Amino acid sequence: MAIDSNLAFAPEFIRPIVQFCTEAYRNTWSAENRVRYSSRLETILRTSNDRNILITVNPKLVRDFSGKEKCFIYEVIRLAAVEFPEIRYLVEELRELYKRRGYQNDRYFYLESLSDNQFVYEIDCILTPRFRSRRLYYEKLNGFFGRKQLTFLEIIQQYLFPDIIEINRPKPKKKIRHKGYRDHGSLGSEYSKTLKQQAGDWTLRLQEERKKKELDDYLKFLSGFAGWE
- Predicted model pTM: 0.61
pLDDT, position 24:
79
**Cβ-contact 88, 81 below 8 angstroms:** yes
pLDDT one-digit tens code per residue, 95-145: 999 998 999 999 999 999 999 889 988 988 888 887 888 889 989 988 999
Give backbone dihedrals phi and psi of 21, rounded to 5 degrees, phi first: -65, -40
CB 200 within 8 A of CB 192: no
167: enclosing H helix or E strand: strand 165-168
- Give the residues of the chain that fall short of pLDDT 50: 225-228
Question: What is the per-residue pLDDT for 226?
Answer: 45
Q: Helix-strand-coil percent breakdown of the chain, rounded to 5? A: 65, 5, 30
pLDDT value, residue 225: 45
Long-range contacts of 39-44 (CB under 8 A, 24+ apart): 40/164, 41/164, 44/164, 44/166
**H or E stretch at 18:** helix 9-28
Predicted confidence at residue 105, as pLDDT, reads 94
The pLDDT tens digits of the residues spanning 62-74 come to: 999 999 999 999 9
